[in-house]
Structure 1
């Protein structure tokens, strides 16, 4: 009964559930990253993105103002302020030592020794009084608070207006566009030759192209860099264009060759009977029919080159004049990469242009990937 026309195979539901699962695996983390890009460091550290709409409990180690901010009051001196700065929150408890961070309730007076007292109100305002002038390092307060949900655009402001980002954007475009066009031009000619031209060693060349697909690019970084230094193109755009083109050519040739092999042989034979040369067939017939495959590879190559950091640093350097966007964003993260809020905002800033390219050419991507699947 499973093969009766009009009935659905049980595998259909399996495929549908698998697609839904894959979509969720990509969508949920992306949405979480988007939410995190609008949160500050304290919120990201204390709670997950799924708790962003709810108040979160935070433990704050706050050092009061410097001695320069003290003011005389009565027979002593006072340093006051708000532990939340310009933000808002609610203090549940506070302490004067790390061993007892919740020793006092809001409004209580804590004895810090030598006549120094501290009090913290529920709204975060604090006052530390001393019978003598404050000197040296300021004391710390340990605050346990509940912070309401808060979203900010400061992360994007820091990323978008970072020093050198505009120049890095132009550098990235200068690297990406030629590094996408050059391998397409070379691979299109090579793919046509491997698909429709008979010559000795063609099978070996096809096998070599397939073998190059599994070779890690890291194996060739040092030899290529030495070659670039010998030729005098190290640190130049030409060097990084050639490197990206070389790394992308195996996939380009493999993809385009498989597509061109599936084109109708009758069209090409008819053109040859009419006296067309291989070059005329390639320009007037093969290229127009192969546009979906060309667009498919262009998307992959553009995305890979745009998001690249390793190849750009190795062959172009990391000076301010040649630094790409990924390099600038790496600098924003600091030496330890702990600024998660900047990382989240940088991710969405960096994917804006690739998303535009993808949605503009996605119909060609689908055609190219499905080409040859149906006869």
Structure 2
């Protein structure tokens, strides 16, 4: 019979395919963001990131010199120059915008009574039997190919001129304490709710569960007014306490369910041996609860790192106080067309959460599953 313990379900292949699709859907945009962060504006505008390892074609135009730049070669009046930039190669050229590659390298075209030739190395020669009288150069439309090129200048610019470096440090200053503080408080509270007998324990547990469904938006303004009344105001202490308060219900619920599923015999034996509640908590409960602690740490870290609303309310919007999400919001408004800056800034923003997640992912599922199926 299918579905019995010890037998492999026939839907296992479907689950594996679904997991693979989700991984691919998540990985491809991240890889594209990473590649784009090393490309310059012209490359991003010309081709997608998936073509970053191949040459990219671009179309534009250059102007010849004017009458002041002409030289005389025998009976001919000549204007010379080059249509290529550094690292570019010529694909084709033309005299009209609709046909930027009508001519190949070395071919000659008639241009207002003059003859224009563009060579493979990009050098051009415009010659006429009559002197040139133009005050504005003639346009030469060119189609060029640029080899793959990657640069670190985007990161240098973003980390210095765009203020991401300062915002990165601000975000770390907010995130690390806002992750550690609720874990410390929730661990003590979860142990008390799971293993200590006292009046009102069930009501406290029910209150914690109820707080899980309360949206944080309803508490932002009252909490900020409370901070102002007690003299905290806007600053790091205020945002640490705010994130602690918003994260505690989930932390207590998760850790309480996990701790309640730990072997009762171990705790009772420690009590018989004369261990105090604090010794049991420190030497037995905490080591055994590490998967649950790590899973909540991942959630809290990611939530605080990616937060914009709480940081805006409790920290401020000055340049010295902005976190990563705040700077990205400003860049989207002021540099919406500079995709290389936005891609680099976004990848810097997600790099730390990615490192944290991959470093602790093995504890995530273990902690969540244990906390969801065990109770006491």
Query: TM above 0.5, one fold?
Result: yes
Answer yes or no: is the 8 Å Cα contact 2:257–2:372 preserved in 1: no
Counterpart check, 1:281 vs 2:285: no
> 2:120 & 2:99 partners in 1: Cα distance?
15
> 1:25 & 1:80 partners in 2: Cα distance?
49
> 1:338 & 1:13 partners in 2: Cα distance?
44
User: What are the within-5 Å matches in structure 2 for residues 1-375 of structure 1?
Assistant: 2=2, 8-60=8-60, 62=61, 64=63, 72-74=69-71, 80-82=81-83, 85-95=85-95, 100=98, 102=100, 105=103, 111=111, 124=122, 131-132=132-133, 134=135, 143-162=142-161, 164-333=163-332, 335=334, 337-371=336-370
Shift of 1:213: 2.9
> 1:139 & 1:197 partners in 2: Cα distance?
88
| RMSD across aligned positions (CA) | 3.8
Answer yes or no: is the 8 Å Cα contact 1:102–1:144 preserved in 2: yes
Q: Are the structure 2 counterparts of residues 333 and 104 from structure 1 closer, same or farther at C-alpha, using a change threshold of 3 Å?
A: same
Answer yes or no: is the 8 Å Cα contact 1:90–1:147 preserved in 2: no
Q: Secondary structure at the match of 1:305?
A: helix
Shift of 1:347: 3.1
> 1:320 & 1:374 partners in 2: Cα distance?
46
Once the two structures are superposed, residues 206-265 of structure 1 have per-residue CA deviations (whole angstroms, 9 ceiling, x without a partner) of 343334334443343333333333344333111111122122212211211111111112
Q: Secondary structure at the match of 2:191?
A: helix
Answer yes or no: is the 8 Å Cα contact 1:57–1:146 preserved in 2: yes
Once the two structures are superposed, residues 46-87 of structure 1 have per-residue CA deviations (whole angstroms, 9 ceiling, x without a partner) of 332223333344343x575999xx9632378969554x5334
> 1:280 & 1:301 partners in 2: Cα distance?
27
> 1:255 & 1:290 partners in 2: Cα distance?
11
Unaligned runs of 5+ in 2: none
Larger radius of gyration: 2
Shift of 1:298: 1.5
Q: Are the structure 2 counterparts of residues 9 and 93 from structure 1 closer, same or farther at C-alpha, using a change threshold of 3 Å?
A: same
> 1:160 & 1:29 partners in 2: Cα distance?
22
Answer yes or no: is the 8 Å Cα contact 1:260–1:286 preserved in 2: yes
Q: Are the structure 2 counterparts of residues 278 and 246 from structure 1 closer, same or farther at C-alpha, using a change threshold of 3 Å?
A: same
- The size of the alignment, in residue pairs, is 365
Shift of 1:361: 3.4
Once the two structures are superposed, residues 261-295 of structure 1 have per-residue CA deviations (whole angstroms, 9 ceiling, x without a partner) of 11112223334444544444333332232222112
Q: Secondary structure at the match of 1:58?
A: strand
Q: Are the structure 2 counterparts of residues 134 and 13 from structure 1 closer, same or farther at C-alpha, using a change threshold of 3 Å?
A: same
Answer yes or no: is the 8 Å Cα contact 2:89–2:146 preserved in 1: yes
Once the two structures are superposed, residues 91-131 of structure 1 have per-residue CA deviations (whole angstroms, 9 ceiling, x without a partner) of 4344555xx354853565575x8x99987655555688994
TM-score normalized with structure 1 length? 0.78
Q: Are the structure 2 counterparts of residues 185 and 291 from structure 1 closer, same or farther at C-alpha, using a change threshold of 3 Å?
A: same
Q: Are the structure 2 counterparts of residues 56 and 4 from structure 1 closer, same or farther at C-alpha, using a change threshold of 3 Å?
A: same
Answer yes or no: is the 8 Å Cα contact 1:195–1:260 preserved in 2: yes
> 2:240 & 2:88 partners in 1: Cα distance?
51
> 1:249 & 1:4 partners in 2: Cα distance?
39
